[in-house]
Structure 1
Amino acid sequence: MMQRRFLILFLALFTAACAWFLVRYGGGVGDVLRSAQRGIEYWVGLNPVLGAVAFLAVATLGKVTPFPGGIVIMLAGGYLFGNIVGPLLAATGAALCALTVGYFGRILIYEAIDRRFGHRISHLEEAVTEDGFNWLLAARLLPVLPAWLVNLVPVVFPIHLGKVFVATLLGLLPIAFVLGGIGSSLSGLAAAEFVPSDILFSGEVLLPLMGLAVVALAPVLVKRVRRARRRRRQQGR
Protein backbone atom coordinates (compact mmCIF):
# COMPACT_ATOMS: atom_id res chain seq x y z
CA MET A 1 0.00 0.00 0.00
CA MET A 2 2.82 2.40 0.89
CA GLN A 3 4.58 1.62 -2.38
CA ARG A 4 1.39 2.30 -4.35
CA ARG A 5 0.91 5.67 -2.64
CA PHE A 6 4.53 6.57 -3.34
CA LEU A 7 4.04 5.60 -6.99
CA ILE A 8 0.92 7.76 -7.28
CA LEU A 9 2.74 10.70 -5.69
CA PHE A 10 5.72 10.22 -8.02
CA LEU A 11 3.52 10.08 -11.12
CA ALA A 12 1.60 13.17 -10.02
CA LEU A 13 4.79 15.16 -9.47
CA PHE A 14 6.24 13.88 -12.72
CA THR A 15 3.13 14.88 -14.67
CA ALA A 16 3.11 18.30 -13.05
CA ALA A 17 6.79 18.83 -13.89
CA CYS A 18 6.22 17.85 -17.52
CA ALA A 19 3.19 20.13 -17.78
CA TRP A 20 5.19 23.03 -16.34
CA PHE A 21 7.99 22.39 -18.82
CA LEU A 22 5.60 22.39 -21.77
CA VAL A 23 3.92 25.61 -20.61
CA ARG A 24 7.17 27.34 -19.69
CA TYR A 25 9.00 26.35 -22.86
CA GLY A 26 6.11 25.94 -25.21
CA GLY A 27 8.07 27.58 -28.00
CA GLY A 28 10.20 24.45 -28.46
CA VAL A 29 13.68 23.26 -27.63
CA GLY A 30 15.13 25.36 -30.43
CA ASP A 31 13.82 28.60 -28.91
CA VAL A 32 15.32 27.69 -25.53
CA LEU A 33 18.69 26.94 -27.09
CA ARG A 34 18.56 30.06 -29.24
CA SER A 35 17.91 32.36 -26.31
CA ALA A 36 20.58 30.74 -24.14
CA GLN A 37 23.19 30.00 -26.80
CA ARG A 38 25.68 32.79 -26.05
CA GLY A 39 25.54 32.24 -22.33
CA ILE A 40 25.98 28.47 -22.70
CA GLU A 41 28.93 28.78 -25.08
CA TYR A 42 30.64 31.41 -22.92
CA TRP A 43 30.19 29.44 -19.70
CA VAL A 44 31.36 26.15 -21.24
CA GLY A 45 34.39 27.94 -22.66
CA LEU A 46 35.35 29.22 -19.22
CA ASN A 47 34.47 25.99 -17.39
CA PRO A 48 35.05 23.07 -19.78
CA VAL A 49 35.18 20.37 -17.11
CA LEU A 50 32.20 21.67 -15.16
CA GLY A 51 30.41 22.25 -18.46
CA ALA A 52 30.97 18.61 -19.42
CA VAL A 53 29.58 17.49 -16.06
CA ALA A 54 26.53 19.74 -16.50
CA PHE A 55 25.96 18.47 -20.02
CA LEU A 56 26.24 14.87 -18.76
CA ALA A 57 23.55 15.64 -16.18
CA VAL A 58 21.31 17.14 -18.86
CA ALA A 59 21.90 14.16 -21.16
CA THR A 60 20.99 11.83 -18.29
CA LEU A 61 17.92 13.57 -16.93
CA GLY A 62 16.73 14.75 -20.34
CA LYS A 63 16.09 11.18 -21.44
CA VAL A 64 14.25 10.09 -18.32
CA THR A 65 11.06 11.54 -19.80
CA PRO A 66 9.34 10.05 -22.90
CA PHE A 67 9.60 13.41 -24.70
CA PRO A 68 11.87 13.16 -27.75
CA GLY A 69 15.14 15.05 -27.45
CA GLY A 70 17.96 12.55 -27.83
CA ILE A 71 18.89 13.77 -31.31
CA VAL A 72 19.05 17.40 -30.16
CA ILE A 73 21.17 16.42 -27.14
CA MET A 74 23.67 14.53 -29.32
CA LEU A 75 23.85 17.37 -31.83
CA ALA A 76 24.37 19.88 -29.02
CA GLY A 77 27.09 17.67 -27.54
CA GLY A 78 28.98 17.72 -30.83
CA TYR A 79 28.56 21.48 -31.14
CA LEU A 80 29.74 22.27 -27.62
CA PHE A 81 32.45 19.65 -27.08
CA GLY A 82 33.51 18.49 -30.52
CA ASN A 83 32.98 15.30 -32.49
CA ILE A 84 34.83 13.07 -29.99
CA VAL A 85 34.08 14.25 -26.46
CA GLY A 86 30.52 15.34 -27.33
CA PRO A 87 29.35 11.90 -28.51
CA LEU A 88 31.05 10.20 -25.57
CA LEU A 89 29.23 12.49 -23.13
CA ALA A 90 25.88 12.06 -24.90
CA ALA A 91 26.13 8.25 -25.02
CA THR A 92 27.28 8.08 -21.39
CA GLY A 93 24.35 10.25 -20.34
CA ALA A 94 21.93 7.96 -22.16
CA ALA A 95 23.52 4.93 -20.48
CA LEU A 96 23.20 6.57 -17.05
CA CYS A 97 19.58 7.34 -17.87
CA ALA A 98 18.91 3.68 -18.70
CA LEU A 99 20.59 2.71 -15.44
CA THR A 100 18.47 5.20 -13.47
CA VAL A 101 15.19 4.14 -15.10
CA GLY A 102 16.02 0.46 -14.59
CA TYR A 103 16.87 0.90 -10.90
CA PHE A 104 14.01 3.14 -9.84
CA GLY A 105 11.54 1.53 -12.23
CA ARG A 106 11.97 -1.79 -10.47
CA ILE A 107 11.18 -0.10 -7.18
CA LEU A 108 8.28 2.08 -8.34
CA ILE A 109 6.42 0.46 -11.21
CA TYR A 110 7.52 -3.18 -11.57
CA GLU A 111 4.64 -4.59 -9.53
CA ALA A 112 2.06 -2.58 -11.48
CA ILE A 113 3.50 -3.74 -14.82
CA ASP A 114 3.73 -7.34 -13.62
CA ARG A 115 0.08 -7.38 -12.52
CA ARG A 116 -1.08 -5.90 -15.82
CA PHE A 117 1.16 -7.63 -18.34
CA GLY A 118 3.00 -10.36 -16.41
CA HIS A 119 0.92 -13.23 -17.78
CA ARG A 120 1.50 -12.05 -21.35
CA ILE A 121 5.28 -11.75 -21.21
CA SER A 122 6.23 -14.43 -18.69
CA HIS A 123 7.20 -16.82 -21.50
CA LEU A 124 9.80 -14.28 -22.69
CA GLU A 125 11.50 -13.78 -19.35
CA GLU A 126 14.05 -16.60 -19.58
CA ALA A 127 15.15 -15.79 -23.14
CA VAL A 128 15.33 -12.02 -22.65
CA THR A 129 17.10 -12.28 -19.31
CA GLU A 130 19.65 -14.84 -20.51
CA ASP A 131 20.61 -12.81 -23.59
CA GLY A 132 19.54 -9.41 -22.33
CA PHE A 133 22.85 -7.75 -23.17
CA ASN A 134 22.66 -8.79 -26.81
CA TRP A 135 19.00 -7.83 -27.21
CA LEU A 136 19.53 -4.42 -25.63
CA LEU A 137 22.66 -3.80 -27.71
CA ALA A 138 20.78 -4.59 -30.93
CA ALA A 139 17.82 -2.43 -29.88
CA ARG A 140 20.10 0.53 -29.16
CA LEU A 141 21.97 0.15 -32.44
CA LEU A 142 18.77 0.30 -34.51
CA PRO A 143 17.00 3.68 -34.16
CA VAL A 144 13.57 2.10 -34.54
CA LEU A 145 12.20 1.66 -31.03
CA PRO A 146 11.80 4.77 -28.83
CA ALA A 147 14.57 5.09 -26.25
CA TRP A 148 12.09 5.41 -23.39
CA LEU A 149 10.46 2.10 -24.40
CA VAL A 150 13.81 0.26 -24.51
CA ASN A 151 14.59 1.76 -21.09
CA LEU A 152 11.59 -0.10 -19.69
CA VAL A 153 12.90 -3.54 -20.73
CA PRO A 154 15.23 -3.86 -17.69
CA VAL A 155 12.33 -2.81 -15.49
CA VAL A 156 10.23 -5.75 -16.66
CA PHE A 157 13.00 -8.33 -17.05
CA PRO A 158 15.73 -8.92 -14.42
CA ILE A 159 18.70 -7.99 -16.64
CA HIS A 160 21.79 -7.05 -14.65
CA LEU A 161 22.03 -3.27 -14.52
CA GLY A 162 25.74 -3.36 -15.32
CA LYS A 163 24.89 -5.05 -18.62
CA VAL A 164 22.17 -2.46 -19.21
CA PHE A 165 24.69 0.36 -18.84
CA VAL A 166 27.35 -1.19 -21.09
CA ALA A 167 24.85 -2.30 -23.77
CA THR A 168 23.30 1.17 -23.90
CA LEU A 169 26.67 2.90 -24.04
CA LEU A 170 28.08 0.69 -26.80
CA GLY A 171 24.82 0.61 -28.73
CA LEU A 172 24.42 4.38 -28.86
CA LEU A 173 28.04 5.31 -29.57
CA PRO A 174 27.76 4.86 -33.37
CA ILE A 175 24.64 7.06 -33.54
CA ALA A 176 26.17 9.56 -31.13
CA PHE A 177 29.30 9.89 -33.29
CA VAL A 178 27.21 10.40 -36.43
CA LEU A 179 25.10 13.12 -34.83
CA GLY A 180 28.04 14.58 -32.92
CA GLY A 181 29.92 14.99 -36.17
CA ILE A 182 26.96 16.83 -37.64
CA GLY A 183 26.59 18.91 -34.49
CA SER A 184 30.23 19.99 -34.58
CA SER A 185 29.59 21.63 -37.97
CA LEU A 186 26.41 23.50 -36.98
CA SER A 187 26.37 27.28 -37.07
CA GLY A 188 24.70 27.47 -33.67
CA LEU A 189 22.90 25.44 -31.02
CA ALA A 190 19.45 26.44 -32.26
CA ALA A 191 20.30 24.97 -35.68
CA ALA A 192 20.04 21.52 -34.08
CA GLU A 193 16.26 21.88 -34.22
CA PHE A 194 16.33 22.03 -38.02
CA VAL A 195 18.41 18.92 -38.65
CA PRO A 196 16.05 16.35 -40.26
CA SER A 197 14.83 13.86 -37.66
CA ASP A 198 14.98 11.03 -40.21
CA ILE A 199 18.70 11.47 -40.83
CA LEU A 200 19.41 8.18 -39.06
CA PHE A 201 17.22 6.32 -41.54
CA SER A 202 19.35 7.16 -44.54
CA GLY A 203 20.96 4.13 -46.17
CA GLU A 204 24.53 5.17 -45.42
CA VAL A 205 23.73 5.31 -41.71
CA LEU A 206 21.05 2.66 -41.26
CA LEU A 207 22.72 -0.18 -43.19
CA PRO A 208 25.93 -0.19 -41.09
CA LEU A 209 23.82 -0.04 -37.93
CA MET A 210 21.77 -3.01 -39.14
CA GLY A 211 25.00 -4.90 -39.76
CA LEU A 212 26.20 -4.18 -36.23
CA ALA A 213 22.82 -5.27 -34.83
CA VAL A 214 23.10 -8.58 -36.70
CA VAL A 215 26.58 -9.08 -35.25
CA ALA A 216 25.22 -8.32 -31.76
CA LEU A 217 22.51 -10.98 -32.15
CA ALA A 218 24.78 -13.56 -33.81
CA PRO A 219 25.87 -15.15 -30.48
CA VAL A 220 22.21 -15.59 -29.54
CA LEU A 221 21.45 -17.32 -32.84
CA VAL A 222 24.50 -19.58 -32.55
CA LYS A 223 23.51 -20.51 -29.00
CA ARG A 224 19.96 -21.35 -30.08
CA VAL A 225 21.16 -23.48 -33.01
CA ARG A 226 23.58 -25.44 -30.82
CA ARG A 227 20.91 -25.95 -28.19
CA ALA A 228 18.44 -27.22 -30.80
CA ARG A 229 21.02 -29.66 -32.18
CA ARG A 230 21.80 -30.91 -28.70
CA ARG A 231 18.11 -31.58 -28.06
CA ARG A 232 17.70 -33.48 -31.33
CA ARG A 233 20.72 -35.65 -30.48
CA GLN A 234 19.32 -36.43 -27.04
CA GLN A 235 15.95 -37.32 -28.53
CA GLY A 236 17.61 -39.56 -31.08
CA ARG A 237 19.33 -41.67 -28.48
Structure 2
Amino acid sequence: MTNPTDPETKTKDRKGLLWRYLPIATLAAGLVAFLTLGLHEYLTFETLKANRAELLDFVGRHLALATLIYVTCYAVSVAFSIPGGAVLTITGGFLFGLTTGTLATVIGATVGATGLFLAARLAFGEVLHKKAGKTIQKMEAGFRENAFNYLLVLRLIPLFPFWLVNLAPALLGVTLRTYVIATFIGIIPGTFVYTSIGNGLGAIFERGETPDLAIIFEPAILIPIVGLALLALLPIAYKKIKARKHNPAETEPSHDEPSHP
Protein backbone atom coordinates (compact mmCIF):
# COMPACT_ATOMS: atom_id res chain seq x y z
CA MET A 1 0.00 0.00 0.00
CA THR A 2 1.35 3.43 -0.97
CA ASN A 3 2.08 5.76 1.93
CA PRO A 4 0.80 9.30 1.09
CA THR A 5 3.47 10.81 3.35
CA ASP A 6 6.28 9.01 1.55
CA PRO A 7 8.64 11.50 -0.20
CA GLU A 8 8.53 9.53 -3.46
CA THR A 9 4.72 9.59 -3.45
CA LYS A 10 4.69 13.33 -2.80
CA THR A 11 7.09 13.88 -5.69
CA LYS A 12 4.86 11.88 -8.04
CA ASP A 13 1.81 13.85 -6.88
CA ARG A 14 3.58 17.14 -7.57
CA LYS A 15 4.59 15.97 -11.04
CA GLY A 16 1.02 14.87 -11.68
CA LEU A 17 -0.30 18.28 -10.67
CA LEU A 18 2.33 19.99 -12.83
CA TRP A 19 1.35 18.07 -15.96
CA ARG A 20 -2.34 18.53 -15.18
CA TYR A 21 -2.18 22.32 -14.97
CA LEU A 22 0.70 23.02 -17.36
CA PRO A 23 -1.39 23.14 -20.59
CA ILE A 24 -4.06 25.51 -19.26
CA ALA A 25 -1.41 27.63 -17.50
CA THR A 26 0.52 27.90 -20.78
CA LEU A 27 -2.60 29.06 -22.62
CA ALA A 28 -3.39 31.63 -19.93
CA ALA A 29 0.20 32.90 -19.87
CA GLY A 30 0.21 33.17 -23.65
CA LEU A 31 -2.94 35.29 -23.62
CA VAL A 32 -1.53 37.59 -20.93
CA ALA A 33 1.74 37.97 -22.86
CA PHE A 34 -0.11 38.69 -26.12
CA LEU A 35 -2.18 41.45 -24.50
CA THR A 36 0.70 42.85 -22.44
CA LEU A 37 2.91 43.20 -25.52
CA GLY A 38 0.08 44.98 -27.31
CA LEU A 39 0.06 42.51 -30.20
CA HIS A 40 -3.74 42.68 -30.35
CA GLU A 41 -3.37 46.24 -31.65
CA TYR A 42 -2.07 44.81 -34.94
CA LEU A 43 -5.09 42.55 -35.36
CA THR A 44 -7.09 45.22 -37.19
CA PHE A 45 -8.48 46.02 -40.61
CA GLU A 46 -6.00 48.88 -40.86
CA THR A 47 -3.12 46.40 -40.65
CA LEU A 48 -4.78 44.18 -43.24
CA LYS A 49 -5.40 47.12 -45.56
CA ALA A 50 -1.79 48.29 -45.31
CA ASN A 51 -0.39 44.83 -46.10
CA ARG A 52 -3.06 43.46 -48.43
CA ALA A 53 -0.92 43.59 -51.60
CA GLU A 54 1.90 41.54 -50.05
CA LEU A 55 -0.53 39.07 -48.48
CA LEU A 56 -2.49 38.52 -51.69
CA ASP A 57 0.76 38.08 -53.61
CA PHE A 58 1.98 35.46 -51.12
CA VAL A 59 -1.34 33.59 -51.26
CA GLY A 60 -1.26 33.66 -55.05
CA ARG A 61 2.24 32.14 -55.17
CA HIS A 62 1.96 29.73 -52.21
CA LEU A 63 -1.72 28.87 -51.75
CA ALA A 64 -1.26 25.60 -49.84
CA LEU A 65 1.38 27.05 -47.49
CA ALA A 66 -0.63 30.24 -46.94
CA THR A 67 -3.74 28.21 -46.11
CA LEU A 68 -1.79 26.07 -43.64
CA ILE A 69 -0.34 29.18 -41.97
CA TYR A 70 -3.80 30.73 -41.72
CA VAL A 71 -5.35 27.59 -40.21
CA THR A 72 -2.49 27.34 -37.71
CA CYS A 73 -2.74 31.01 -36.70
CA TYR A 74 -6.50 30.70 -36.29
CA ALA A 75 -6.16 27.55 -34.18
CA VAL A 76 -3.57 29.22 -31.94
CA SER A 77 -5.70 32.35 -31.53
CA VAL A 78 -8.72 30.28 -30.46
CA ALA A 79 -6.73 28.02 -28.12
CA PHE A 80 -5.22 31.08 -26.40
CA SER A 81 -8.62 32.88 -26.42
CA ILE A 82 -7.09 35.85 -28.23
CA PRO A 83 -9.71 38.49 -29.10
CA GLY A 84 -10.25 39.32 -32.75
CA GLY A 85 -11.84 36.21 -34.19
CA ALA A 86 -14.18 38.19 -36.42
CA VAL A 87 -11.26 40.11 -37.96
CA LEU A 88 -9.39 36.87 -38.61
CA THR A 89 -12.46 35.25 -40.17
CA ILE A 90 -13.02 38.21 -42.49
CA THR A 91 -9.33 38.12 -43.37
CA GLY A 92 -9.74 34.49 -44.36
CA GLY A 93 -12.53 35.42 -46.76
CA PHE A 94 -10.45 38.26 -48.19
CA LEU A 95 -7.39 36.08 -48.81
CA PHE A 96 -8.92 32.75 -49.82
CA GLY A 97 -12.45 33.45 -51.02
CA LEU A 98 -15.77 32.22 -49.68
CA THR A 99 -15.40 28.44 -49.96
CA THR A 100 -11.75 27.94 -49.00
CA GLY A 101 -11.91 30.74 -46.43
CA THR A 102 -14.93 29.23 -44.69
CA LEU A 103 -13.46 25.73 -44.62
CA ALA A 104 -10.04 26.91 -43.41
CA THR A 105 -11.60 29.00 -40.64
CA VAL A 106 -13.92 26.22 -39.46
CA ILE A 107 -11.01 23.76 -39.32
CA GLY A 108 -8.73 26.21 -37.50
CA ALA A 109 -11.42 27.22 -35.01
CA THR A 110 -12.36 23.60 -34.31
CA VAL A 111 -8.74 22.57 -33.74
CA GLY A 112 -8.09 25.53 -31.44
CA ALA A 113 -11.32 25.05 -29.50
CA THR A 114 -10.51 21.37 -29.06
CA GLY A 115 -7.08 22.25 -27.66
CA LEU A 116 -8.62 24.58 -25.07
CA PHE A 117 -11.30 22.00 -24.26
CA LEU A 118 -8.72 19.28 -23.59
CA ALA A 119 -6.54 21.59 -21.48
CA ALA A 120 -9.51 22.69 -19.36
CA ARG A 121 -10.81 19.14 -18.96
CA LEU A 122 -7.39 17.90 -17.88
CA ALA A 123 -6.97 20.69 -15.33
CA PHE A 124 -10.44 21.05 -13.86
CA GLY A 125 -12.80 18.35 -15.12
CA GLU A 126 -12.01 15.58 -12.63
CA VAL A 127 -11.56 17.98 -9.70
CA LEU A 128 -14.90 19.72 -10.23
CA HIS A 129 -16.67 16.42 -10.77
CA LYS A 130 -15.42 15.10 -7.42
CA LYS A 131 -16.35 18.26 -5.54
CA ALA A 132 -19.70 18.83 -7.26
CA GLY A 133 -22.84 18.45 -5.19
CA LYS A 134 -25.92 16.48 -6.19
CA THR A 135 -27.50 19.50 -7.90
CA ILE A 136 -24.44 20.12 -10.08
CA GLN A 137 -24.17 16.42 -10.87
CA LYS A 138 -27.80 16.41 -11.95
CA MET A 139 -27.14 19.40 -14.21
CA GLU A 140 -24.12 17.63 -15.69
CA ALA A 141 -26.15 14.51 -16.39
CA GLY A 142 -28.91 16.54 -18.05
CA PHE A 143 -26.43 18.42 -20.22
CA ARG A 144 -24.52 15.29 -21.22
CA GLU A 145 -27.73 13.49 -22.16
CA ASN A 146 -28.37 16.05 -24.92
CA ALA A 147 -24.85 17.45 -25.20
CA PHE A 148 -24.73 17.56 -28.99
CA ASN A 149 -27.95 19.56 -29.33
CA TYR A 150 -27.14 21.96 -26.49
CA LEU A 151 -23.67 22.58 -27.89
CA LEU A 152 -25.07 23.12 -31.36
CA VAL A 153 -27.39 25.81 -30.00
CA LEU A 154 -24.57 27.53 -28.10
CA ARG A 155 -22.41 27.53 -31.22
CA LEU A 156 -25.15 28.73 -33.55
CA ILE A 157 -26.44 31.69 -31.53
CA PRO A 158 -23.81 34.48 -31.57
CA LEU A 159 -24.66 35.73 -28.09
CA PHE A 160 -22.25 33.62 -26.07
CA PRO A 161 -18.49 34.35 -25.94
CA PHE A 162 -16.61 31.77 -28.00
CA TRP A 163 -14.07 31.12 -25.25
CA LEU A 164 -16.85 30.45 -22.72
CA VAL A 165 -18.53 27.90 -24.99
CA ASN A 166 -15.11 26.28 -25.42
CA LEU A 167 -14.59 25.93 -21.66
CA ALA A 168 -18.03 25.06 -20.27
CA PRO A 169 -18.43 21.64 -21.96
CA ALA A 170 -15.06 20.56 -20.54
CA LEU A 171 -16.38 21.20 -17.04
CA LEU A 172 -19.68 19.41 -17.74
CA GLY A 173 -18.20 16.11 -18.83
CA VAL A 174 -18.99 16.33 -22.56
CA THR A 175 -17.18 13.71 -24.64
CA LEU A 176 -14.46 14.81 -27.05
CA ARG A 177 -16.25 13.33 -30.08
CA THR A 178 -19.50 15.16 -29.33
CA TYR A 179 -17.63 18.40 -28.68
CA VAL A 180 -15.65 18.30 -31.94
CA ILE A 181 -18.61 17.42 -34.18
CA ALA A 182 -20.97 19.97 -32.60
CA THR A 183 -18.30 22.67 -32.78
CA PHE A 184 -17.46 21.98 -36.42
CA ILE A 185 -21.10 22.04 -37.53
CA GLY A 186 -22.28 24.80 -35.21
CA ILE A 187 -19.78 27.46 -36.27
CA ILE A 188 -20.35 27.05 -40.00
CA PRO A 189 -23.26 29.57 -40.39
CA GLY A 190 -21.56 32.40 -38.50
CA THR A 191 -18.25 31.70 -40.21
CA PHE A 192 -19.94 31.77 -43.61
CA VAL A 193 -21.46 35.21 -42.87
CA TYR A 194 -18.17 36.83 -41.85
CA THR A 195 -16.21 35.09 -44.60
CA SER A 196 -18.64 36.44 -47.18
CA ILE A 197 -17.90 39.93 -45.84
CA GLY A 198 -14.21 39.25 -46.33
CA ASN A 199 -14.85 38.02 -49.85
CA GLY A 200 -16.01 41.54 -50.73
CA LEU A 201 -13.53 43.35 -48.51
CA GLY A 202 -11.50 44.67 -51.45
CA ALA A 203 -14.44 46.77 -52.64
CA ILE A 204 -15.05 47.99 -49.08
CA PHE A 205 -11.42 49.11 -48.80
CA GLU A 206 -11.64 50.88 -52.15
CA ARG A 207 -14.57 52.92 -50.83
CA GLY A 208 -12.56 53.82 -47.74
CA GLU A 209 -15.03 52.03 -45.46
CA THR A 210 -14.72 49.51 -42.63
CA PRO A 211 -16.64 46.20 -42.47
CA ASP A 212 -19.69 46.16 -40.20
CA LEU A 213 -19.07 43.42 -37.63
CA ALA A 214 -22.62 43.78 -36.31
CA ILE A 215 -24.05 42.51 -39.58
CA ILE A 216 -24.66 39.09 -38.06
CA PHE A 217 -27.30 40.68 -35.83
CA GLU A 218 -29.27 41.95 -38.82
CA PRO A 219 -32.72 40.26 -38.81
CA ALA A 220 -32.25 38.81 -42.29
CA ILE A 221 -29.16 36.94 -41.04
CA LEU A 222 -29.88 36.40 -37.34
CA ILE A 223 -33.41 35.00 -37.74
CA PRO A 224 -32.35 32.04 -39.96
CA ILE A 225 -29.49 31.24 -37.56
CA VAL A 226 -31.84 31.34 -34.56
CA GLY A 227 -34.19 29.13 -36.57
CA LEU A 228 -31.40 26.57 -36.94
CA ALA A 229 -30.80 26.75 -33.19
CA LEU A 230 -34.48 26.10 -32.50
CA LEU A 231 -34.38 23.11 -34.84
CA ALA A 232 -31.46 21.78 -32.80
CA LEU A 233 -33.63 22.02 -29.68
CA LEU A 234 -36.54 20.08 -31.19
CA PRO A 235 -35.11 16.60 -30.44
CA ILE A 236 -34.64 17.60 -26.80
CA ALA A 237 -38.21 18.90 -26.55
CA TYR A 238 -39.52 15.74 -28.21
CA LYS A 239 -37.65 13.49 -25.78
CA LYS A 240 -38.94 15.42 -22.77
CA ILE A 241 -42.54 15.36 -24.02
CA LYS A 242 -42.28 11.66 -24.76
CA ALA A 243 -40.81 10.98 -21.31
CA ARG A 244 -43.67 12.86 -19.63
CA LYS A 245 -46.25 10.84 -21.53
CA HIS A 246 -44.65 7.58 -20.48
CA ASN A 247 -43.92 8.70 -16.90
CA PRO A 248 -46.59 11.25 -15.93
CA ALA A 249 -45.96 10.64 -12.24
CA GLU A 250 -42.45 12.15 -12.56
CA THR A 251 -43.83 15.52 -13.65
CA GLU A 252 -46.60 15.72 -11.05
CA PRO A 253 -46.09 16.77 -7.42
CA SER A 254 -45.88 13.83 -5.08
CA HIS A 255 -48.69 13.24 -2.58
CA ASP A 256 -48.83 11.01 0.44
CA GLU A 257 -50.37 7.64 -0.29
CA PRO A 258 -53.73 7.15 1.47
CA SER A 259 -53.58 4.70 4.33
CA HIS A 260 -55.28 1.34 3.85
CA PRO A 261 -56.98 -0.57 6.57
TM-score for both structures, normalised by structure 2: 0.78
Report percent identity of matched pairs: 27
Equivalent in the alignment of 1:25: 39
Q: How does 1:93-104 map to 2 (within 5 A)?
A: 93-104=108-119
CA contact (8 A) 2:21 2:122 kept: no
Q: How does 1:75-224 map to 2 (within 5 A)?
A: 75-111=90-126, 113-114=128-129, 118-119=132-133, 121-187=136-202, 194-224=210-240
Equivalent in the alignment of 2:259: none
CA contact (8 A) 1:37 1:189 kept: no
CA contact (8 A) 2:93 2:197 kept: yes
44-53 vs 219-228, which deviates more? 44-53
Q: After TM superposition, give the deviation of residue 218 of structure 1 in Å.
A: 0.4
Equivalent in the alignment of 1:62: 77
* Unaligned residue ranges in structure 1 (runs of 5+): none
CA contact (8 A) 1:44 1:51 kept: yes
Q: After TM superposition, give the deviation of residue 35 of structure 1 in Å.
A: 5.1
In 1, the alpha carbon distance for the partners of 2:105 and 2:229 equals 20
CA contact (8 A) 1:34 1:189 kept: no
In 1, the alpha carbon distance for the partners of 2:172 and 2:26 equals 26
Equivalent in the alignment of 1:226: 242
Quick check: 1:4 aligned with 2:5?
Answer: no
In 2, the alpha carbon distance for the partners of 1:188 and 1:35 equals 15
Q: After TM superposition, give the deviation of residue 215 of structure 1 in Å.
A: 0.2
Change (3 A) 1:190 1:54: farther
CA contact (8 A) 1:91 1:172 kept: yes
In 2, the alpha carbon distance for the partners of 1:229 and 1:142 equals 30
In 2, the alpha carbon distance for the partners of 1:26 and 1:235 equals 51
What letter is aligned with 1:221? A
Once the two structures are superposed, residues 70-93 of structure 1 have per-residue CA deviations (whole angstroms, 9 ceiling, x without a partner) of: 211210111111011101111121
Q: After TM superposition, give the deviation of residue 34 of structure 1 in Å.
A: 4.5
Q: After TM superposition, give the deviation of residue 177 of structure 1 in Å.
A: 1.1
CA contact (8 A) 2:148 2:178 kept: yes
Counterpart secondary structure, 2:201: coil
Q: After TM superposition, give the deviation of residue 199 of structure 1 in Å.
A: 1.9
* Unaligned residue ranges in structure 2 (runs of 5+): 1-13, 253-261
Counterpart secondary structure, 1:4: helix
Q: After TM superposition, give the deviation of residue 65 of structure 1 in Å.
A: 2.5
Q: After TM superposition, give the deviation of residue 165 of structure 1 in Å.
A: 1.4
What letter is aligned with 1:27? E
What letter is aligned with 2:124? I
Change (3 A) 1:113 1:148: farther
Larger RCO: Structure 1 or Structure 2 (Cα < 8 Å, ≥ 6 residues apart)?
A: 1
What letter is aligned with 1:50? L
201-210 vs 227-236, which deviates more? 227-236
Give aligned pairs, total: 234
Counterpart secondary structure, 2:82: coil
CA contact (8 A) 1:137 1:216 kept: yes
Change (3 A) 1:21 1:32: farther
Equivalent in the alignment of 2:62: 47
CA contact (8 A) 1:55 1:89 kept: yes
In 1, the alpha carbon distance for the partners of 2:64 and 2:106 equals 17
Higher gyration radius (CA): 2
